[in-house]
Amino acid sequence: MNHFDFSHDHFTLFGLPRAYRLDMATMETAFRALQTQYHPDKAASLTDADKRMALQAATRVNEAFQTLKSPLARARYLLLLAGVDTQEETNTAMPVDFLMQQMEWREAIADARAASDVDSLEALGRELRGVGRAMETDLGLLLDEQSAHAQAATVVRKLKFMEKLEQEVGDAIERLLD
Amino acid sequence: MALFQIAEPGQAAEPHQHRLAVGIDLGTTNSLVATVRSGSATVLADETGATLLPSVVHYAADGQTTVGYAAQLRQSEDPRNTIVSVKRFMGRGVKDLPDSAATPYRFVDAPGMLKIKTVAGDKSPVEVSADVLRHLKQRAEDSLGGELLGAVITVPAYFDDAQRQATKDAATLAGLNVLRLLNEPTAAAVAYGLDNAAEGIYIVYDLGGGTFDVSILKLTRGVFEVLSTSGDSALGGDDFDQRIYCWVVENAGLSLLGDHDTRLLLTHAREAKEALTDHAETRITAKLADGEVVDLALSAEVFQQITAPLVQKTISPVRKALRDAKLDMSEIKGVVMVGGATRMPHVRRAVADFFGREPLTNLDPDKVVALGAAMQANALAGNKGDDEWLLLDVIPLSLGLETMGGLTEKVIPRNSTIPTARAQDFTTYKDGQTAMAIHVVQGERELVADCRSLARFELRGIPPMVAGAARIRVTFQVDADGLLAVSAREQSTGVEASIAVKPSYGLADDEIARMLQDSMQHASEDMLARTLAEARVEAESLIAATRAALASDGQLLDAEERAEVEAALARLQAASAGDAATEIRAQTDALNQATSEFAARRMDAAVKRGLAGQKLSELG
């Protein structure tokens, strides 16, 4: 089994430039190539030391893939590499208009759920996704072109709110359909 | 004339020496063993040519153990000592069983897992499964003419950690070297995908004898990537037999059947179910122990009616898997049907209706899992074939830890690609706390009580610190078999504890499925419960802190002030015993208010004491 360098960051590991905007197809190809090399199945007939190494390497490759695949996790990771804490647990200060919008969405979810209105929930889900996408576009700009880390951290916190909301909409739809 | 071959030291004489490895499908009703011979996977038959081995074990008083068809013959005459469908008991405790009256067995509770009383002693499901596996190992070694290097054993994708661990233990007990535990639908996808050079997104619908799995896979140039999995670990062909049995009991006006009659009618029910695959009607004729004769005609239509709810029950997990994979139905390239129970025409029709297309049934639903397992075993054993492939599987249920107030903190979410690891930091709750109990759970619900308990262990020897100062990092590692190991480490001192998660007790048969469904249905209840639990935790910590302060610095208050604080304390205590989160919060705020002056005085006093202490040390 080839040596695996655990000191590499996720981008280096996948042979990708350290950037927010990634070519997903290239990343998936790199992921599969790495797993083909390091997955524990490839070490099943090797020594125990190789098996341990394969477990740790494949675990790291999966972690890297999960991180780079998700727009939110990828942005958070880039900020971490730049030494910026996104303060998602501690910093709950948000612009008032964003908070107001959040409350409106939450009420809309609650209303649609109470009315068992799957169509409205699905429309809401699309709307949220659209807003999330726009934030992801902003992140590309802030991180890759402007190096505006503090602003990017704020967008990351907002995007986390959006993901939670989308999850709620999804759960509500699923409950109504079952 | 052939030249003699001389091997290099340390190398095999034969360059293409084939290492013997098998795939075993350890099923609820039937088990199979397969291997790759001259490049193609084949199921190994016994000396009579039979490939299926009924997963039935009979224990006789003289200590003799029979497995398979021979054991099945004893079923009606000696139901208590003839163990069928033991897979349903793997990793389970007595209290987890849904309805023990439905089986003839006498269960014994034992730590970790139940046991079944037989004339040959108490048998754990692991031992019974090991007897089936031993039989298959013998068949393989007889047929292949050598000792096995190892085996891939398949498990339902929806099996939890305890069930997986129990399966691995059974294989070890049978003397098998486990190359890998492989999820059944993934094994089927390998056999199907490699045979058909399939590319794209496929769904495997696997309805076996006792379990239902659905997995969504993306097939890309030899990589089989599981995107999501869902299922019901207590739904299968057996349940269809049970429905026919109930229908017979009702329509023949029977009551209080003995073990023997129950077993007899269940066997007839299974035969009727199989007959209805190709016929519009079948007869159920049986002579009961008291001489009464049951003779009923069952039509395919009635059979469909009485089992429609079971078929419907398979659709929710399919929806869930699609949602978890963030896929739309239009992105699915094909639906692969696996498991003997998918032979039932109305099951096929329901799947076709749901997906709006005919499912793929051009493979033997009984054998495809074993064949896929054999291919994987061959690859893991290091026998290089023409094509190489890679399986990337996931865990079916989220793994987490119990936190304050009986809440679950998810550490690894369901459908994470394995192997995977994740660390989470926790801290101490009380001043001077030197130990921390780690409770590992599996499931989707917010409350620990609604999830499955996998293991408990303690991290001891944490140096006394103020509450919240310790940094305890708990690491979960899930290996390629889907098995979990947990370790905990106090960061500042390096105190460490770890455990390979062994099942502490089991889930009820339908509990995993129920847990997942409930997590959706009760999400709002959970939120309420969570709010309440959090309010209580906060209240209790404030009560404890206030009491401690009163004990150490009570002299800072006059009698009236102290009475006020104690009244607020009592009111919070009363509220905390109730179920109203808002009331607990209100009284928490009130107590905070009532003690604010007290807190300020204690702060002053502490500062004075601190200064005094400093002076002393300076003097010293």
What mean pLDDT do residues A166-175 have? 85
Answer yes or no: B184 catalytic.
yes
Cα B384 to Cα A134: distance, rounded to the nearest angstrom: 48
Alpha carbons B67 and B82: distance in angstroms, whole number: 9
Inter-chain touch B477–A59, beta carbons under 8 Å:
yes
Cβ under 8 Å to A: B residues 516-545:
517, 520-521, 523
Please tell me the class of the A96-177 domain.
mainly alpha
Q: Which CATH number fits domain B237-310: 3.40.50.300, 3.90.640.10, 1.20.1730.10, 1.20.140.10?
A: 3.90.640.10
Give the pLDDT mean for A72-78. 97
State which H helix or E strand residue B205 sits in. Answer: strand B200-207
Other C-beta atoms within 10 Å of B315: how many?
Answer: 16
What pLDDT digit, counting tens, does each position of B314-331 carry?
Answer: 998 998 899 889 898 889
Quick check: B163 and B511 in contact, CB under 8 A? no
| pLDDT, chain B, mean | 85
Q: Which of B78, B161, B206, B393 is catalytic?
A: B206
Residue A133 has pLDDT above 90, yes or no: yes
Distance from CA of B425 to the nearest CA of A (A): 13
Residue A37 in this model has a pLDDT that exceeds 60 = yes
At the topology level of CATH, where does B524-619 sit? Answer: Substrate Binding Domain Of Dnak; Chain:A; Domain 2 (1.20.1270)
Q: Does B419 sit behind a cis peptide bond, omega within 30 degrees of 0 on the bond before it? A: yes
Question: Which amino acid does the sequence have at B592?
Answer: N
d(CA B357, CA B388): 31
pLDDT at B606 over 90: no
ipTM above 0.85, yes or no: yes
| Spans of all domains in chain A | 10-69, 96-177
Fold of B399-521: Substrate Binding Domain Of DNAk; Chain A, domain 1 (2.60.34)
Better-predicted residue by pLDDT, B596 or B336: B336
Interface A–B counts its CB contacts (< 8 A) at 71
Of the pLDDT bands very low, low, confident and very high (cuts 50, 70, 90), residue B617 is very low
Which pLDDT score, from 0 to 100, does residue B505 have? Answer: 32
Contact A161, A102 (CB under 8 A): yes
pLDDT of residue B608: 65
Q: Measured between CB atoms, does B564 come within 8 Å of chain A?
A: no
Cβ contacts (< 8 Å) between A175 and chain B: which residues? 520-521, 523
Q: Which of B560, B563, B583 is nearest to B573 (CA)?
A: B583
> What fold does the segment set B21-235+314-392 form as a domain?
Nucleotidyltransferase; domain 5 (3.30.420)
Question: What's the pLDDT score for residue A124?
Answer: 94
Which residues are bridge partners to B423 per DSSP? B475
Domain ranges in chain B are 21-235+314-392, 237-310, 399-521, 524-619
For the domain with range A10-69, which CATH number is right: 1.10.10.60, 1.10.287.110, 1.10.10.10, 2.40.50.140? Answer: 1.10.287.110
- Does A58 reach chain B within 8 Å, measured CB to CB? yes
- Strands of B427-518 (E only): list them: 435-442, 452-460, 472-478, 484-490, 496-500
Above 80 in pLDDT, residue B379? yes
Query: Given an 8 Å threshold on Cβ–Cβ distance, is B520 in contact with A174?
Result: yes
- Confidence band of B297 (pLDDT split at 50, 70, 90): very high
